[in-house]
Structure 1
Amino acid sequence: MRNFHFAGRSTVHAQNAMVATSHPLAALTAIEVLKAGGTAADAAVAGCALLGVIEPQSTGIGGDCFALYQPKGEGKIVAYNGSGRAPMAAKPEWYLERKIHAVPLTSAHAVSIPGAVDAWDVILRDHGKMGFDTLLQPAIKAAEEGYVVAPRIAFDWKNQFDKLKKGTNTERYLLPGGKPAVAGDVIHQPELGKTLRAIAAKGRDAFYSGEIAADMVETLRGIGGLHTLEDFAEHSTETTSPIGTMYKGYDAWQCPPNGPGITMLVMLNILSHFDLTKFPPLSIERFHLEAEAARIAYMMREQFIGDPRHVNVDVARILAKEFADEHVSQIKMDRVLELPNVAPPMNPSTIYITVVDKDRNACSFINSIAHSFGSAIVSNKTGILLQNRAGGFRIQPGHPNCIAPGKRPLHTIIPGLLTKNGRAIMPFGVMGGQYQPVGQCHVLTNILDYGCDVQEAIDMPRGLHYEGVYQLEDSVPAEIVEGLKKLGHKTTSIVGPLGGGQAIWIDWDKGTLTGGSDPRKDGCALGY
């Protein structure tokens, strides 16, 4: 239970419906949709579309989307893969012939076909009651009439100033007065508003064909891109079944590859061999075990995971008990395990939104333009900021994540869903690029092992073992930092906090919802 002597947030409680996300206005918008009779899918799309305007560094219609949806909280869980593909001309040989050995993150080559708009369309078709004509109106209003910049968004804007100065059309669209926006500034994006109006009127086809698609292709090809109108026209969302594992009597579900949720599931399988309750939640041992599980799981991901339409990904073998068993015995409590240093190509940012409606439809929904402000390429006339998700590819023939025509890159965004006996218990997500699998495990074990409520679990200090260094938030106690160093961990502090996070806990017996939202972002949980 929260100690009210100290600063913090209370959990949010409601009976009917709830949303949690990274900006209060998006949470309010989603609640208004729910009150108007919309489903969890309707609310998620409306909130996310608005976030694409008011949180431009993290998300937008120029990005990708993944989602998990469980109808009535006890039906079949559906996984939506709204990630974009590489252009059909993107052959690894093309890059190698030009001595390009890694995808430049602010080049046209980093832009995969944006998948978000099509994913929203498919999710609404399957689970929504409203259409783009209604749900995009808050985003249109914010773009055309202006929105007020929130503090965390201003923090990111300032940190990305140099990147935006050098981008394509970014100075025109994203640096008002030649400076980064500060908290309290009012920003207008009329070109983006016009684009959203076209999608609201004509649907997803307005984005993937016609003038909007032509402008994106012209922009990208003008700076060396390989994209064609056919690449946009042929894009489609994949609807699949989730993958999962059991932890402490609960089932944790993720979207399958090319999503990286399997990384989180491997971490849980490893951690299930240890009794974390023997150690305090803020302890050297707990942070050490989490780091070792992450290092093993990330090494697995680097070796085996890519787009399953292009490479064989043996999900069953990776999630089998034997796979975790062979690694668990190597973990030592008195020293760091010797493993190859894994350096993923990118460490982006994102937004997450979770919604549970009055019918207990549970939606776990995540949308991203990859790195902060994506590729720093804005389409010439449309105001669309394009993602740099293709920067996640390797240019390494034979690697499961090597770039190829029509291939989807190994992603970072993972919506999570916890169930018990087939019923939704907690749709949740933790933002923060490569941190996401670790963050989900951290939040989940805070709840299931340490008895935290959803807000306490999200608030807890965090760390990420990344590229051979343990990145620790300032809130991690000094004695833990020193203890980790003695075990052989190289540690460092970080400029910004590790990601964000939201969760909604469903209490079926009481008929109530409990929500939490990360103070590392600007948002909140709201319910009614």
Structure 2
Amino acid sequence: MTSSSWPFHSRRSSVWSTRAIVAASQPLAVQAGLDILRAGGNAADAAVSVAAALNVTEPASTGIGGDCFCLFYDAKTKTVKGLNGSGRAPAALTLDFAQSRGYEGIIPPTDSNSVTVPGAAAGWVDTVELFGSGKLGLDEILAPAISLAEKGFPVSAVSATLWEKAEAKILAASPNSGEILRNGKAPKEGEIIKLPELAETFRALARDGKQGFYEGRIAQALVEVIESQGGVMTLEDLKYHTSTRTDPISIDYGGVRLHEHPPNGQGIVALIALGIIHELESSGRTPRLLDLPHNSAEYLHIIIEALRLGFADAQWFVSDPEKVAVPNGLLDKKYLASRAQGFQRDHAAVDVVRGSPANSCDTVYFSIVDEEGNACSFINSVYHSFGTGIVAKGTGFALQCRGSNFSLEPESPNVLAPGKRPYHTIIPAMITDPVTDDLRYCYGVMGGFMQPQGHVQVLLNILRGMDPQAALDAPRICIGADDDKGKIFIEHGIDEQVVDSLRAMGHRVVISYGHDRAVFGRGQVIGVASVEKDRTRVLVAGSDPRADGCAAPLL
């Protein structure tokens, strides 16, 4: 795992450790995770501490008002386990009701009825209970975030930019905008801001567990603000929310096994794409992808077309498996081979009408590997920037708008229904050895529908021999949204001749520069570089240069 032969796209080097590493998009949140590891917690304990600290330091992207998913690698059993911490639609939110409100296509993301039950609070508690060390209480795990919120912290560059862009939205969303704005303004880079109401919310969760959030003062405040704007969420919707234990789904490619969270998440897109690439390679219809020049036109064309096929399936079949049966055969080799028949080597052939994704980058992903070799791949989101922008009085956080990802088309498996979870964009990932089940990488790339695209591209970079930092630094591509009419966003740094060749194949290419690079997501990677004869584990990590964060080792 060295990057000496790869172009140096950032000023960062990979981080190395023989103990533990935390990688996240905010350095203060990384320190929170390290504090928990020093106190005797494991990767799961540290993940929840990081999640809460990120709610404080990057609230546009994440928080207790949103949802979470995690994959946990148990070093003792060499197994990967999952947790679905996403919320469900209120019991009174029916398709008939939505249609009576005049919604077209989706529930608008600033509408109070786009608020599904926030699953993060229960997800944090359950992560600690199911996968934690048992050595630390929730009060200790949330203490770093409470301290940051109460004492204040200087806002980082990306977080300040996201905060400023959402000013008008937050001001218009509810009468409680002053809990996350100051005098109607977002904090500037380097400005110290305190979030005392959020600290009190964390205290209630630490003291009373899930009841402290889903019942009592906080629950009442959530229902009141939603009802005041025409929403139908009730105290019962909150009280009866539960997380779900899950078994990851996986596929083998390039000598490794990629684990993704199952539906209602979209991790299956990455698996379908890799399966189609494997079928194209094994049938001789394309060269082995890893033998092609990196980010060459043919290399990117294969990735683009495979991902389009993956999205076409996922956006038609992926839904809440508790409500709608998701076909078991989407990863079957015969099915993948049949899907690969739609590929054309010399031009863009995949239909972009069905399954063409939309893009959003308001999510945080972070990765942790502890001293025992356990790993936690964790993702937390409010979907759009500050979600709906709605803040319940005395809570200090914005409510998510995940319900806007339901379809309002009756024939869609992802159609809105009471008590149903929507198609979910946020996905954690994990890579293991398919023979030994040893952990190889704990990684992920956030960014709405960019996420499976990032998972595939970063994995392929790793398989080409890049170390984690180089794998994240490398320029990426992103399939555009429906309203972009099939555009392919290409990150500045990919050769202009490659861009010309892709255009000649029929791809509608747009080059993205500067802050527009946010469309390519932000990732974190921690890998197990080696295990020495004395069983010393050597870890290596990278953090995406498109974010404010870092990877840091435990001393």
Aligned pair count reads 526
Who is 2:538 aligned against? 512
Question: For structure 1, which runs of at least 5 residues remain unmatched after alignment?
Answer: none
Instruction: Please say if 1:486 is aligned against 2:504.
Output: yes
Shift of the alpha carbon at 1:358? Answer: 0.8
Instruction: Please say if 1:425 is aligned against 2:440.
Output: yes
Name the CA shift for 1:126/1:311 in 2 (closer, same or farther; >3 Å).
Answer: same
Who is 2:16 aligned against? 13
What is the alpha-carbon distance in structure 1 between the residues aligned to residue 420 and residue 10 of structure 2? Answer: 47
Counterpart pick for 2:311 among 283, 298, 301? 298
What is the alpha-carbon distance in structure 2 between the residues aligned to residue 7 and residue 66 of structure 1? Answer: 29
Q: Which moved more, 1:499-508 or 1:426-435?
A: 499-508
What is the alpha-carbon distance in structure 2 between the residues aligned to residue 323 and residue 214 of structure 1? Answer: 49
Counterpart pick for 1:446 among 458, 461, 464? 461
Deviation per CA, 1:479-520, whole angstroms, max 9, x where unpaired?
222221111111224424211000111134232111111011
TM-score (norm 2): 0.92
Percent identity of paired positions between Structure 1 and Structure 2: 38
Q: How does 1:52-131 map to 2 (within 5 A)?
A: 52-72=55-75, 74-101=77-104, 102-128=106-132, 129=134, 130-131=136-137
Name the CA shift for 1:94/1:512 in 2 (closer, same or farther; >3 Å).
Answer: same
> 2:176 touches 2:393 (CA, 8 Å); kept in 1?
no
> 2:308 touches 2:356 (CA, 8 Å); kept in 1?
no
Deviation per CA, 1:227-246, whole angstroms, max 9, x where unpaired?
00000000000001111110
Name the CA shift for 1:359/1:223 in 2 (closer, same or farther; >3 Å).
Answer: same
What is the alpha-carbon distance in structure 2 between the residues aligned to residue 387 and residue 53 of structure 1? Answer: 15
Instruction: Please say if 1:330 is aligned against 2:348.
Output: no
Name the CA shift for 1:253/1:2 in 2 (closer, same or farther; >3 Å).
Answer: closer
> 2:9 touches 2:470 (CA, 8 Å); kept in 1?
no
Instruction: Please say if 1:524 is aligned against 2:542.
Output: no
Counterpart pick for 2:52 among 26, 39, 49? 49
> 1:150 touches 1:183 (CA, 8 Å); kept in 2?
yes
What is the alpha-carbon distance in structure 1 between the residues aligned to residue 227 and residue 114 of structure 2? Answer: 12
Who is 1:318 aligned against? 330
> 1:345 touches 1:391 (CA, 8 Å); kept in 2?
no
Shift of the alpha carbon at 1:185? Answer: 1.0
Deviation per CA, 1:20-51, whole angstroms, max 9, x where unpaired?
11111111111121112111111111111110
Name the CA shift for 1:6/1:58 in 2 (closer, same or farther; >3 Å).
Answer: closer
Q: Which amino acid aligns with 1:472?
A: I
Q: Which amino acid aligns with 1:452?
A: M
TM-score (norm 1): 0.96
Shift of the alpha carbon at 1:455? Answer: 0.8
Q: How does 1:66-465 map to 2 (within 5 A)?
A: 66-72=69-75, 74-101=77-104, 102-128=106-132, 129=134, 130-169=136-175, 171-272=177-278, 273-274=280-281, 275-314=288-327, 316-341=328-353, 342-344=355-357, 347-420=360-433, 421-448=436-463, 450-465=464-479
Deviation per CA, 1:170-222, whole angstroms, max 9, x where unpaired?
64233323333221011111111111111111112100000110000001011
> 2:3 touches 2:466 (CA, 8 Å); kept in 1?
no
Q: Which amino acid aligns with 2:162?
A: D
Q: Which moved more, 1:485-494 or 1:108-117?
A: 485-494
Shift of the alpha carbon at 1:348? Answer: 4.9
Q: Which moved more, 1:323-332 or 1:60-69?
A: 323-332
Deviation per CA, 1:414-436, whole angstroms, max 9, x where unpaired?
10010102121111110111000
Shift of the alpha carbon at 1:343? Answer: 4.5
What is the alpha-carbon distance in structure 2 between the residues aligned to residue 213 and residue 496 of structure 1? Answer: 38
What CA RMSD, in Å, does the superposition of the two structures yield over aligned residues? 1.7
Partner SS state of residue 189, structure 2: coil
Q: Which amino acid aligns with 2:376?
A: C
Partner SS state of residue 446, structure 2: coil
Name the CA shift for 1:513/1:163 in 2 (closer, same or farther; >3 Å).
Answer: same
Name the CA shift for 1:379/1:343 in 2 (closer, same or farther; >3 Å).
Answer: farther
Q: Which amino acid aligns with 2:270?
A: M
Partner SS state of residue 80, structure 1: strand
What is the alpha-carbon distance in structure 1 between the residues aligned to residue 77 and residue 255 of structure 2? Answer: 17
Shift of the alpha carbon at 1:90? Answer: 0.9
Question: For structure 2, which runs of at least 5 residues remain unmatched after alignment?
Answer: 282-287
